[in-house]
Chains A and B, each alone.
Chain A
């Protein structure tokens, strides 16, 4: 996968997450449903995570080991943040 294709894949991941999140937020506000709003916010919060997943897979696929592993490390930090948050509170 060339870097341009990787950039395109990231763009699609970001745009999909944002569209889904914004759609859910609009529905949530219209229906005055806190539950739907929470799903919309979660979709926004998971958008950068999806972006890191796409980039990690792309870099590893390109056999760019140093940057692929760095990206995997970032994914790990995000995972720790999710787990720490869930455990602490």
Chain B
């Protein structure tokens, strides 16, 4: 592999890692299409490199988010149990669906999520009263001078979304944050920053579970994955640091736009 190709791969990892960490995602949802469609890498090589890069981005974000107290550890563990089962069953599900059906299901899910996030972007999932009890899975969130309380609602829905996110992760080589972050925020009453941080905390594990399979199958190209991950790591750290400066509402609008665009793109692949 020549130097220009290596630099292009580092830049791809950096761009997707930065945007991913900014939104609380791993960035795989952008990286897989970029590597496979734009840089013309074989899809399995693209997915393998994406998984390594997602691990780097999500782990880097988590080191930043833990410091800020945005990660809800227990909620993360509970949902992670669902994503890991989803990851294992993803392969089984895939055998029942054609690639086109997969794209259609995925695309329409993203479109519905995008519209819901957009419609509810003005709503904040926090209780301004610090004395309110957050419940076993809820928590407190400090923003500047204010301490907010949030409670977890509709947990079965959150578990279902995590299960689906795990399955999608196994199938498409993404971390699944594009499903969990909007689901946790829109349906489960979790503030967007906590949803993003807790999702990033889970994504590393989901991606690692799939990465071992790709590794043994020989689909993780050392040189390509190394270049992409080396770009994603510092960019992910930078994105995570900057994410706190963005207003929650703007974060939701960017997230909705990404969901709608990716939904249309995925849907078109399936038509």
Contacts and interface: CB of A to CB of B under 8 A. Distances in A.
Interface of B: 6, 52, 55-56, 58-60, 62-63, 66-67, 69, 71, 73-74, 77-78, 80-81, 84-85, 87-88, 204-205, 207-218, 220, 222-223, 225-227, 229-230, 233
A10 B211 CA distance: 21
A9 B22 CA distance: 24
A82 to B, nearest CB: 5
25 contacts: A6-B73, A7-B69, A10-B62, A14-B59, A14-B62, A17-B59, A18-B233, A22-B229, A25-B226, A25-B229, A29-B6, A37-B223, A38-B222, A44-B59, A45-B211, A47-B59, A48-B204, A48-B208, A49-B208, A55-B77, A64-B74, A78-B209, A81-B212, A88-B213, A89-B217
A33 B233 CA distance: 20
A74 B233 contact: no
Contacts of A86: 216
Contacts, number: 141
Contacts of A47: 55, 59, 204, 208
A77 B84 contact: yes
Contacts of A25: 226, 229-230
Interface residues on A, range: 35 or more
- Which secondary structure dominates chain A's binding surface? helix
Contact of A11 (B67, B87, B220): B67
Nearest to B58: A48
Interface in A54-73: 55, 59, 64, 67, 70-71, 73
Interface of A: 3, 6-8, 10-11, 14-15, 17-18, 21-22, 25-26, 28-29, 34, 37-38, 40-42, 44-49, 51-52, 55, 59, 64, 67, 70-71, 73-74, 77-78, 80-82, 84-86, 88-89
Contact of B225 (A15, A41, A48, A73): A41
A37 to B, nearest CB: 4
Given A41-B229, A47-B204, A88-B216, A74 B80 contact: yes
B11 to A, nearest CB: 15
Contacts of A42: 215
A44 B73 contact: no
